[in-house]
Structure 1
Amino acid sequence: MADHAGALQAFDFEFDRRYQPLLRLAGVTPSTAQVVVGRGPQGVLRARFGPWLLTTTLDNVADVTVGGPYRAHRVVGPHLSLADRGVTFGTNTRAGVCVRFHEPVGALAGRDRLPHPGMTVTVADPNGFAQLLRVRAGLA
């Protein structure tokens, strides 16, 4: 994976066919779900999940970890963790990437109403996404 200066790198979600009908009802399809990573401390991390959008700068990224497998009822669809207010945008149970933020960021209930200290996304290339995000956020 090349890391070109100034480039935006896009990561698609990995959709498990079993959950696609449910996700489609929520407006989440392969064409409406993607994570984009910019470059440098003023770069961008943007996760679009159907009608939901989370956007922050890369200097707000505190930690990046790969996790999984998950239980479907905890990850598939847009989810709010009652334990820590983290947001999950999930399309499969195999693997995902948890991104922790220095300053919480809103997504599910708007930018200011319920900010999330972290986000989990189930992209198709979790290791590649995690590695690139660590490098571009200055964590590696």
Structure 2
Amino acid sequence: MSTRFEFAFAPAYRLPALVFGIRPETAHVDVTDEELRVRFGPWSLVTARDNIVGAEITGGFGWLKTAGPPHLSFSDRGVTFATNGDRAVCLRFATPVAGIDPTRTIRHPGATLTVAQPDLLLRALTGG
């Protein structure tokens, strides 16, 4: 069984996202008993559920640092899939995963996801 979480698109994020093929129809997070799957336009991230070692609600992102395509944090190589600057679920992985580059070379120790229902995604992933 799979539960889908849609991204929450703020008006100011829609056009920059659209330029990169990111639309409500092409952006979502699927959670199964075994894995987490993120689709963000042409980008994707997949990891086993047991690879997720931390999850928390975060937010207050600057538009320039988050609008448009996924963003790579130069400080920790985390990836941000953002469609708003308000609230997100920030995940930490035991083993870094691919997600931002087409060669799948860059590995991310964490991912930030601005889904429409961050509290429900957090609960789905942590059981809390």
TM range (shorter): over 0.9
- Which residue of the partner structure matches residue 30 of structure 1? 24
Q: Distance in 2 between matches of 1:106 and 1:115?
A: 5
Q: Distance in 2 between matches of 1:69 and 1:26?
A: 23
8 Å CA contact 1:99–1:120 kept in 2: the answer is: yes
8 Å CA contact 2:57–2:118 kept in 1: the answer is: yes
Q: RMSD between aligned alpha carbons? A: 1.1
SS at match of 2:77: coil
TM-score (norm 1): 0.87
Q: Deviations over 1:80-130 (max 9, x none)?
A: 000000000000011011010000000111464100000000000011111
Q: 1:97 to 1:14 in 2, by over 3 A?
A: same
Question: Which consecutive aligned stretches of 4+ in structure 1 deviate over 4 angstroms post-superposition?
Answer: none
- Which residue of the partner structure matches residue 20 of structure 1? 14
Residue type of the alignment partner of 2:90: C
TM-score (norm 2): 0.95
Q: 1:111 to 1:65 in 2, by over 3 A?
A: farther
Q: Percent identity?
A: 39
Instruction: Please identify which structure carries the higher strand content.
Output: 2
8 Å CA contact 1:105–1:111 kept in 2: the answer is: no
**Who wins on radius of gyration, i.e. which is larger?**
1
Number of aligned positions between the proteins: 127
1:76 deviates by 2.2
Q: Any stretches of 5+ residues in structure 2 without a counterpart?
A: none
- Which residue of the partner structure matches residue 67 of structure 1? 58
